[in-house]
Chains A and B, each alone.
Chain A
Amino acid sequence: MDMYTSAAIILGVMVLVYFIALWVKLSTELAMLVAALAGAVAGGHFFPARHVAEGAITYLDINLIFICATLFMNILKESGGVAFVVRSIIKTFHNSRVLLLILLSILLLIPGALTGAGSVTVLITGGMVAVVLNYMGISKIKTAAIIFLIAGLSAAAPPVSLWAMMTAAGVNMPYVGFFWPLLIPCVTGALFTVFFLGWKGTKIDVGKAFEELPVPPEKMNWTRIIIPFVIFFGLMFMGRKWPHDTPVVGLPLMFLFAALASYLLSPKKLDFFRISADTIKQLLPLIGTLTCVGILVQIMTLTGVRGLLAITFITLPAYLVIGSLFFFLPITESVLMYGSAAVFGVPLVLLFNSMGLNPIIALAGMSVIWPLGDALPPTAIIGRLTVDVAGAKDSYGKFLKQCIVPAIVIMILGTLMVLYSKQLGFLTGL
């Protein structure tokens, strides 16, 4: 049997088993695991313990970031810090909708831009922003759409864009020249999203908001809130400013230090162990999915399925490849998450390079499109998380509907960047 046939059969088995698993009501992450195991068996690997374990460890560091960042936010929330910040924002900015919308988009852009993970945005500032947006007369489902889309853009935004970074490393390209090519579409997309979905609404009823919002402990003040952030940003700044005179701290530990500071500064006594255990419980779907994606990609690589998908896509006619990026990238993202950068990003960038396109601009354009897939089933992990954080009770389909227009604008932006990457080459500054 030639490799095409065998890889196609294994792919068929994996897809079939995946859907059967969903049909018998297994969660997406377990369905992925079962599909991976079925693929391994179909490929003649009957006890792939090493491959399961090796695939499972792929996203260990990213999972650590998620855990520590979320722990930090949960402590801040339980100490009353979040309520305090939301009250202050409403008090100061309730008169200017424009300023408020811009401020909220910045709040959403920062965490993901620094960590490369949209879910960190959703978990860190998403909840806070959602409350304010609700008081601005924006429905919960629209709020969820705003937070999800900007969170996605924040993940693609510089300085840390994991898709761009992983692909760049995969094609031996330094992570240089990406700042403006990533920042411009991300900020444009974020502002469009927030004004498109958030412009219509009502004026904030300050009295009502203050009545409903949880009351922070009396001793809560800006100092207690800001110090943990100063520690986090201070460590990050030190690493950037004096990279060779300071030790490598890493994002997980930076978030952990911020979390500990927040815990120590909390005006009321908190149960650190309980909050930590709840954090893991809250993140179980996200961590579980990433872990199982790693396993799935490993088995797909082992059996040739990954190669089959990659070769099939990149050998399509060039206009089809570029013309279908807008839905192809989100779909691969929805199945493989960051794995999509390694599986498809690498051959695509090399393909664009050989077509004479600017690989940096093209990759930046792709990086803006990728995160949209985080709302799509089967994983839909960040989409589901956002709907949950925003407290929306509507159907998931309604959430997706709200996302459509800004998503199309972002897709067009990204595709145009790939198409005109040569002309936009000046943005890299190289």
Chain B
Amino acid sequence: MNRKDIIRKSLIGFVGLVVLVVAGIRFYQHRHFKEQVVIGDQVKVKKLGNYFDGVKGTFNDCNIYFIEGTEPGATMMILGGSHPEEPAGRLTALVMVENARITKGRLIVVLSANRSATSVTRPSAAYPQLFTIPTAWGGQQFRMGDRWSNPLDQWPDPEVYIHYPGKQNLAYMDIRNLNRAWPGRANGTLTEKTTFAFMNLIKQEKVDVVIDLHEAELQYPVINTIVTHEKGQDLATMASMTLTDFEGFSIGTEFSPKNLHGLSHREIGDYSDAISLLLEAPEPFLDATRGITGAEQLLEGKDAFVVKAGKHGLLYAPIDDKGWPIATRVGRHTSTVLQIMQSWNEFHPEKELVCEGVPKYTELIAKGLGAFLIDPGSVAKGKVVFE
């Protein structure tokens, strides 16, 4: 090797190194970015690891927020972040933690059900790493995540994923999909251990209703709907009818298919006493026909290409030039959750869950999502926790 070779090789290597270092820093910062959550006096924070040692100290040892009223009543659990690439779920959970006041019963809220998946974005999908919700005090930043746990926390994948205990074959990467890993198992993968821990939590805390918050691409048939386990049929139907009549948006109901395994609406209902429901809001960002990919599209939900798909009748949810802004999507979730509570109370007057302070659909659209986030700088240090 002569001098020229050495210089050339060093130069090429150096350019590679620069790319590696710059990208590596961005990946590291994203994975370790601290999202701030303001907790009120009513909120107590536990860890998922309290319910199963197998997740203690792992990346998935997420925060569990308990908001308990003075009077006894029903317990409802809200799961955000099963799929962190669907931010309305996590943001709805955040709005509930920061705004909910419970007078009767108890609310358990999770922002990062699969925290590992909040720490990675999908290769070749060009997701933004962080996004900012504008607020009166400047704005609050959040991590964008993926559908699957970070390979840094669970690697390798098998050549095909065989669900436990259903033995159903699923695509190999779905072994890292939290919503294909219910009810989980103690000696399984990190993702399975996570759902196992949640199942323990649901049983130990005697949760009555679990609501798993999601978003879907508009080309996907299961959208703008409540997917319900057969135990939740009355609850979901009643909520759907009332919302469609009184809240200004329509939402359907669908039954959880009995032969699809690993999903929260199927397995939580099957393996615990809780009623399991799953909400889907529309997220044009997830559509395979989406155009320019970035935080703006993620939050505003506007996309000319997806609109074109709609004009050709290829979508299961409407879309126009106004798009599906994040406040609308979060609003659909908060109103649906509140309506499910309301319907529950009508069916179970002896065991009510009474929640105040959470903004509804119209309020969120009118004031924007940022109006319901609390400035972490404005509260005492002990009142801020990190996701």
Please give the residue numbers on chain A whose beta carbons come within 8 Å of chain B beta carbons, in ascending order: 2-4, 6-7, 43, 47, 49-55, 57-58, 61, 114-116, 159-160, 165-166, 168-172, 174-176, 236, 239-240, 243-244, 248-253, 294-295, 297-299, 301-304, 307-308, 310-311, 314-315, 339, 342-343, 346-347, 350-351, 353-354, 430
Task: Check if A244 sits within 8 Å of B159, measured CB to CB.
Answer: no
Task: Check if B288 sits within 8 Å of A342, measured CB to CB.
Answer: yes
In this complex, what residue of B is CB-closest to A253?
B156
Please give the residue numbers on chain B whose beta carbons come within 8 Å of chain A beta carbons, in ascending order: 18-20, 22-24, 26-27, 121, 123-126, 129, 156-162, 164-165, 167-175, 185, 188-189, 216-217, 219-222, 259-261, 287-294, 303-306, 308-309, 312-314, 316
Q: How far is the CA of A173 from the CA of B160 in the complex (A)?
A: 14
CB neighbours (8 Å) of A174 from chain B are 168-171, 260-261
CB distance from A193 to the nearest CB of B (A): 25
Interface residues of B, dominant DSSP: loop
Q: How far is the CA of A399 from the CA of B51 in the complex (A)?
A: 62
Q: How far is the CA of A244 from the CA of B174 in the complex (A)?
A: 15
Task: Check if B170 sits within 8 Å of A308, measured CB to CB.
Answer: no
Task: Check if A52 sits within 8 Å of B23, measured CB to CB.
Answer: yes
Could you show 28 A-B contacts with beta carbons less than 8 Å apart?
A4-B304, A6-B292, A7-B291, A49-B18, A49-B26, A53-B27, A165-B160, A165-B171, A169-B170, A174-B168, A175-B169, A175-B171, A239-B159, A240-B160, A240-B162, A243-B162, A244-B162, A248-B156, A248-B158, A248-B175, A249-B158, A307-B288, A307-B290, A307-B303, A311-B309, A347-B287, A350-B217, A351-B314
Q: How far is the CA of A310 from the CA of B18 in the complex (A)?
A: 33
In this complex, what residue of A is CB-closest to B18?
A49
Q: Which of A52, A54, A295 has the most CB of B within 10 A?
A: A54
Task: Check if A54 sits within 8 Å of B124, measured CB to CB.
Answer: yes
Task: Check if B220 sits within 8 Å of A168, measured CB to CB.
Answer: no
Task: Check if A347 sits within 8 Å of B19, measured CB to CB.
Answer: no
Q: A61-B157, A243-B162, A314-B309 are in contact. Are A308 and B123 (CB under 8 A)?
A: no
CB distance from B41 to the nearest CB of A (A): 40
CB distance from A317 to the nearest CB of B (A): 10
Q: Which of A57, A308, A315, A339 has the most CB of B within 10 A?
A: A315
CB neighbours (8 Å) of B305 from chain A are 3, 304, 307-308, 310-311
Q: How far is the CA of A250 from the CA of B157 in the complex (A)?
A: 6
Task: Check if B124 sits within 8 Å of A244, measured CB to CB.
Answer: no
Task: Check if B19 sits within 8 Å of A53, measured CB to CB.
Answer: yes
CB neighbours (8 Å) of B288 from chain A are 170, 307, 310, 342-343, 346-347, 350
Q: How far is the CA of A114 from the CA of B160 in the complex (A)?
A: 10
Task: Check if B156 sits within 8 Å of A166, measured CB to CB.
Answer: no
Task: Check if A116 sits within 8 Å of B159, measured CB to CB.
Answer: yes
Q: Which of B126, B175, B222, B287 has the most CB of A within 10 A?
A: B126
Extra A-B contacts (4), CB below 8 Å, given A50-B22, A298-B125, A351-B314: A7-B292, A116-B159, A252-B156, A301-B125
Q: A298-B125, A304-B305 are in contact. Are A244 and B188 (CB under 8 A)?
A: yes
A354's partner among B20, B304, B314 (CB-CB below 8 A) is B314
Q: How far is the CA of A339 from the CA of B287 in the complex (A)?
A: 16
Q: How far is the CA of A308 from the CA of B162 in the complex (A)?
A: 36
Q: How far is the CA of A53 from the CA of B129 in the complex (A)?
A: 13
Task: Check if B219 sits within 8 Å of A50, measured CB to CB.
Answer: no
